[in-house]
Structure 1
Amino acid sequence: MSPEDVREVTFSLALKSRNAYDEAEVDAFLDRIEATLRGEDTVTARDVRDVAFTHPGLGRRGYTKDEVDEFLDQVAAALEAR
C-alpha cells in the first residue's frame, strides 16, 4: 500500500448518521496513515485496529462505516507486513 492509495481512497456517504463515521475524524486519521507510509509519522497496525470514530452530528451525513472499516483492515494488514 502506498501513500497515494490512502490519499486517493473515497468512501460513500451513509444515508443515516448511525451507520456513519465523522468525515473530519476519518480524514485526519488517513492523513496520519499517509504520513506514516511516507516515514513522517508512527501509526501502527494496532493504532489502526483500535481507532474509534464518532458519529456525525444529528442530521449530518458521514462516511459509510463498512467501507471505512474494510479499508482500515487493509491498511492494518499492510502495516503489519512492513
Structure 2
Amino acid sequence: MSPEDVRDITFSLALMSKNAYDEAEVDAFLDRIEATLRGEDSLTARDLREVAFTHPGLGRRGYTKDEVDKFLDQAAAALEAR
C-alpha cells in the first residue's frame, strides 16, 4: 500500500448515522496513515486496529463503517508487512 493509495481512497456515505463514522475524524486519521507510509509519522498496525471514531451528529451522514473498517484492516496488514 502506498501513501497515494491512502490519499485516493473514497468511502460511501452511510444512510444512517449509527452505521457511520465522522468524516473529519476519519480523514484526519487517513492523513496520519499516509504520513506513516511516508516515514513522517509512527502509527502501528495496532493503532489502526484499535482506533475509535465517533458517529456523526444527529441528522448528519458519515462514512460507511464497514468500508472504513475494511480499509483500516488492509492498511494494518500493509504496515505489518513492512
Q: Which amino acid aligns with 2:36?
A: T
Q: What does residue range 6-17 of structure 1 map to in structure 2 within 5 Å?
A: 6-17=6-17
Instruction: Specify the alignment match of 1:19 in structure 2.
Output: 19
Equivalent residue for 1:44?
Answer: 44
| Code of the aligned partner of 1:9 | I
Q: Tell me which amino acid in the other structure corresponds to 1:80.
A: E
Residue number in structure 2 paired with 1:60: 60
Report the equivalent of 1:81: 81
For 1:50 and 1:70, the matched residues in 2 are separated by: 13
| TM-score (norm. length: structure 2) | 0.99
Q: Equivalent pairs: percent with the same residue?
A: 88
The 3-state SS of whatever aligns with 1:4 is helix
- Tell me the TM-score normalised to structure 1 length: 0.99
Question: Which sections of structure 1, spanning at least 5 residues, go unmatched?
Answer: none
Aligned-partner Cα distance in 2 for 1:40–1:49: 20
Which 4+ residue blocks in structure 1 deviate beyond 6 angstroms? none
Please name the residue that 1:33 is paired with: 33
Unpaired runs of 5+ residues, structure 2, are none
**Aligned equivalents of 1:71 and 1:50: distance in 2?**
13
Aligned-residue RMSD, C-alpha: 0.2
